[in-house]
Amino acid sequence: MNNIIILIWTLCLCVQGFNGQVTVTQTPSVRTVQIGESVTINCKTNTAVGNCNGRYNCMAWYQQKPGEAPKLLIHSANQRETNTPSRFSGSGSRTDFTLTISGVQTADYRRLLLSEFTLFW
């Protein structure tokens, strides 16, 4: 069997925004899955996070390859970036957020980052 380890690391930018500081936690920090399996990563914030319609804190998932800057996968909790494969999906609101990878591939061996950011417009 081909196993890969998905390293999940939650990153909180702790931006002082409309709702103050938001702390993001996720456990366990390491998941082992077989290629082709689906995996769901659950994260929780210490305070409710807005829906990005206006001046709110929003949630985003990033994927980081070793030695490279993080790449945005999903913003506003569930909106995939243009080049994000459809096997990645995000969901959640308020304090509970998830990232699902349907059919993990070898290329998914990366660090996944969940980040709070503040959106202004």
HSE on the CB side for 44, CA within 13 Å?
Answer: 4
Residues in the chain: 121
- Side chain identity at 93, as an amino acid letter? S
Q: What pLDDT is stored for residue 13 in this prediction?
A: 39
User: Domain segments of the chain: what residues?
Assistant: 3-119
Pairing verdict, β 24-25 and 79-80 = unpaired
78: Cβ–Cβ under 8 A, 6 or more apart, which residues?
Answer: 89, 90, 91, 92
Q: Is 108 helix (H, G, I), strand (E, B) or coil?
A: helix
Q: Which option is the CATH number for 3-119: 2.60.40.3500, 2.60.40.10, 3.90.1300.10, 3.40.50.620? A: 2.60.40.10
Please state the pTM of the whole predicted model: 0.75
| pLDDT in single tens digits along all 121 residues of the chain | 555 555 544 444 333 344 456 677 776 666 777 788 888 888 888 877 765 655 456 778 888 777 878 788 888 888 899 999 999 999 988 888 888 989 888 777 666 666 655 433 3
